Amino acid sequence: MVTFSHTDRGTAESAWAAAGLSSAPDLPLDGNELARMGFVILAAHPDDETLGAGGLAATLSGLGAAVEVLLCTAGEGSHPESPSHTPGRLAAIRLEEFGHGLAALGLEGRWRFLGLPDRGLGLHAEAIAGAVREAAERLAASPEGPRRLVLVAPYRADGHADHDALGAVAAGVAASDGHGLLEYPIWYWHWAGPDHPGWRDWVKLHLGPAARQAKDRAMAAHGSQVRPLSPAPGDETLLSEDFLYHFARGYEMFAWTPPRTAGDRPHRSGEAEQIFDAVHRRAEDPWDYASSWYEQRKRSLTLAVLPRESYPAGLEVGCSIGMLTAELAARCGSLLALDASGVAVDRAGQRLGHLGHVHVDRMVVPGSWPDGTFDLVVLSEVGYYLPGDELAALWDRVEATLRPGGTLLLCHWRHPVDGWELDGETVHARARERLGWQPAGLYRERDFILEALVAPEVLPAAEPGTA
């Protein structure tokens, strides 16, 4: 149980900056994706939404996204020792401030007040969950309703009891109903430090000038929190300047869980041939490998991440029409390229037929796997097409087939993937966890993650009689 006070000195913003917080990966959603989504923003108290997600809220408003804000309490307990303001008076003031703050963020009138008691949200989980689901239904039922819904809530381990309770409810609803989840930390920045492991897996949302200005105006609207209520003891400023520095960054940080389709059955590898044959029959180049600058650039980065100049034997899993295969061929003495789609294999074979050291074959992994061992295994845009148990079996296959000191190269799209169980970040995280191999290179941007892992070298056998 975390214990802290707002009067504690807390962790300086300079400490977070020195730890490299600004180099966190970007949220893998672009403006078009955000505009097509619906968002339910949850706040335990007035100003939570502005501190933790005000820039996001202003950004969504500017994009025309469907947004509804749910305020759980009036925050009447913010100054329990105040000699000048009763809880009732504080509640009225803070609700008025909340309305002005949301207007500054472009969300005037797009909020509902649940009227729950401050410092008591843990006792009202069922009511909160019901309100969240009702808000999600309203957004989904609107004209041209959003394709996906995302809940935006306090980080469930923020350290404040109301924040933790609200975050836990949001996480439960998101998981059971298939919504995305963006968790925003508030008091975490105050009591935690850079050595705390939580933030290392978070993502950031860059804030444009308009969003930053809107957030500043919204925060200024919460006068009861950023200025003293009166000169009397008990009416001191609640949020100090040092604390507010954490929220003056040019970006906001979130723990991100992508949306899922509730109840959707994950595809099995046995369905892969039919699915990807259909994809390749619809177009000669279904992912625009040949014409897209994004794809050309990604291939160049993929080759640049390889830690060795050349590999005697390479294996590419999921070659599609063979565009990356052709470039990998220049780095491999021999190269075997596999795909589950017979249509794709035929096209790749035509493209690569002039390369005598390259062989293309149809194979559905991990149930089937080639004989022999390899110095390089490449898995590009493949892992999230497997359910979790089959991905685990794939790592077993890779471990058994990659020679000591060999390279496993992974590259995956970071955006949500419709109709599939996993996403790119999860695929890479599970590879690191399962294999435990030495990283040789990592590159991540908003759209994709690219990573090289090196299989351990075989240690020489100990001499008899030595320890």
Please give the Cα distance from 135 to 147 (Å, whole number).
15
pLDDT in tens, 49-72: 999 999 999 999 999 999 999 999
Using the predicted structure, report yes or no on whether residue 173 has a pLDDT greater than 80: yes
Q: Which tokens in the block code for residue 246?
A: 């954490």
Q: Which pLDDT band holds residue 467 (cuts at 50, 70, 90)?
A: low
Q: What are the residues facing 315 on neighbouring strands?
A: 336, 377
Predicted TM-score of the model (pTM): 0.88
* Other CB atoms within 10 A of residue 464 CB: 5
pLDDT of res. 263: 43
Mean pLDDT of 216-229: 98
Taking alpha carbons only, the member of 146, 142, 135 closest to residue 70 is 135
pLDDT of res. 269: 59
pLDDT of res. 408: 98
Higher pLDDT, 328 or 143: 328
Taking alpha carbons only, the member of 384, 382, 395 closest to residue 421 is 384
How far is C-alpha 366 from the chain's CA centre? 27
pLDDT of res. 266: 54
pLDDT of res. 268: 63
Q: Which pLDDT band holds residue 270 (cuts at 50, 70, 90)?
A: low
pLDDT of res. 329: 98
Which structural domains are found in the chain, ordered by start?
Answer: 13-257 (3.40.50.10320), 269-454 (3.40.50.150)
Please give the Cα distance from 37 to 259 (Å, whole number).
10
* 363, 340 Cβ separation under 8 angstroms: yes
Please give the Cα distance from 399 to 92 (Å, whole number).
62
pLDDT of res. 2: 85
Q: How many CA atoms lie within 13 A of 117 on its CB side?
A: 5
pLDDT of res. 261: 59
User: Strand runs (DSSP E) across 72-187, as ranges?
Assistant: 111-113, 148-154, 180-184
Mean pLDDT of 286-314: 96
pLDDT of res. 275: 85
* 94, 46 Cβ separation under 8 angstroms: yes
Q: Which pLDDT band holds residue 279 (cuts at 50, 70, 90)?
A: confident
Using the predicted structure, report yes or no on whether residue 265 has a pLDDT greater than 60: no
* 368, 338 Cβ separation under 8 angstroms: no
Amino acid at 397: R
Which of these ranges, 237-246, 253-262, 282-291, has the smallest mean pLDDT?
253-262
Using the predicted structure, report yes or no on whether residue 443 has a pLDDT greater than 70: yes
Distances (CA, A) of 258 to 179, 181, 182, 187, 444: 7, 7, 9, 24, 17
DSSP structural state of residue 444? E
Please give the Cα distance from 132 to 181 (Å, whole number).
12
DSSP structural state of residue 247? G
Taking alpha carbons only, the member of 309, 395, 379 closest to residue 339 is 379
pLDDT in tens, 337-383: 999 999 999 999 999 999 999 999 999 999 999 999 999 999 999 99
Q: Which pLDDT band holds residue 271 (cuts at 50, 70, 90)?
A: confident
How far is C-alpha 336 from the chain's CA centre? 33
Higher pLDDT, 282 or 263: 282
Q: Which tokens in the block code for residue 55?
A: 């820039």
pLDDT of res. 262: 44
